[in-house]
């Protein structure tokens, strides 16, 4: 009788799974399976299980928020596709304000499904996350193209004209003509069917994808240049005007990678 009394009073601890086992189940589950596990373990009296459930609930909420944010990012593409634009190319650039290295543009045509979660303005992402997403974009996108305009051409053309050249080249490299082009910032009137979105790299999926691809490609290029020109810290500054970079130019002088001018009011003024 005493044994029976102990069995009746002793709580059932989630089918006798340990806290570590329950935590592992929660961490590996997703969607409806995760929701079911959280409900199953909600009444477990162990503090470790309650903590694991709370964490799993927070992760699930963050995941739902990310799915919704991503869905909003694809809104413009869905709208244009509903209007008959099957191929929508997003375009963005990086390197416009650098002292050294190319001005780089990327064009990306994303598939309508599956959505790529995590897309965002490349500046908001860590280098590691940018590289992870760039690999996903290259693997899943319908088409990806990258174009570099070297420093001497930026000097000769001016930044605005060089930007247009980079974008035109990136679009041509897609291998197919897009039905519509969405670009970050102000209108450039490069193609007839163009939509410009201010801060588009944080609002439009295809532009965000292009910003990530362009940033990763140019950063790698600058790391490669750093091997040839180790004095300038290109692997760190990526050609931008940090104090250390400017000091190196003053001490050693510019390389062939350095722009000799910067844009002012549509024109150029000498840097060196």
Q: Is the same domain home to 126 and 62?
A: no
pTM: 0.80
How far from 270 is each of 104, 157, 160, 257, 266, CA to CA, in Å? 21, 14, 16, 15, 14
CB neighbour burial string for 15-34, b if at least 16 within 10 angstroms, e if fewer: eeeebeebbebbeebeeeeb
Percent of the chain with pLDDT over 90: 77
Q: Which two tokens stand for residue 76?
A: 């413009």
* Residue ranges making up the domain that contains 14: 2-73
Please count the structural domains in the chain. 2
How far is Cα 106 from Cα 129, in angstroms, rounded to an integer? 18
Query: If pLDDT is split at 50, 70 and 90, which confidence band does 119 have?
Result: very high
Q: Is the same domain home to 18 and 127?
A: no
The domain that holds 147 is classified in CATH as 3.30.420.10
- Quick: pLDDT tens for 27-53: 888 777 888 898 899 899 999 999 999
Q: Which two tokens stand for residue 200?
A: 């588009």
How far is Cα 191 from Cα 168, in angstroms, rounded to an integer? 9
């Amino acid at each position: 009788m005493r044994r029976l009394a102990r069995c009746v009073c002793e709580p059932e601890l989630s089918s006798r799974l340990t806290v570590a086992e329950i935590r592992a189940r929660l961490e590996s589950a997703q969607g409806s399976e995760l929701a079911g596990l959280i409900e199953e373990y909600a009444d477990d009296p162990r503090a470790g299980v309650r903590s694991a459930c709370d964490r799993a609930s927070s992760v699930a909420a963050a995941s739902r928020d990310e799915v919704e944010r991503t869905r909003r990012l694809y809104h413009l593409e869905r709208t244009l596709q509903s209007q008959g634009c099957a191929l929508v190319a997003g375009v963005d650039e990086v390197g416009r304000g650098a002292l050294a290295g190319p001005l780089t543009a990327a064009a990306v045509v994303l598939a309508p499904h599956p959505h790529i979660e995590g897309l965002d303005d490349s500046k908001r992402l860590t280098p590691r996350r940018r590289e992870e997403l760039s690999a996903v974009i290259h693997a899943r996108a319908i088409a990806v193209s990258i174009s570099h305009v070297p420093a001497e051409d930026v000097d000769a053309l001016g930044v605005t004209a060089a930007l247009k050249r980079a974008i035109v080249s990136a679009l041509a490299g897609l291998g197919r003509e897009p039905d519509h082009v969405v670009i970050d910032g102000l209108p450039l009137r490069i193609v007839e069917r163009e939509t410009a979105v201010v801060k588009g790299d944080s609002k439009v999926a295809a532009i965000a994808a292009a910003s990530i691809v362009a940033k990763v490609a140019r950063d790698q290029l600058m790391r490669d240049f750093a091997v040839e020109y180790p004095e300038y810290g290109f692997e760190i500054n990526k050609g931008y005007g940090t104090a250390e970079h400017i000091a190196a130019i003053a001490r050693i002088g510019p390389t062939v990678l350095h722009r000799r001018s910067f844009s002012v009011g549509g024109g150029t003024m000498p840097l060196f």
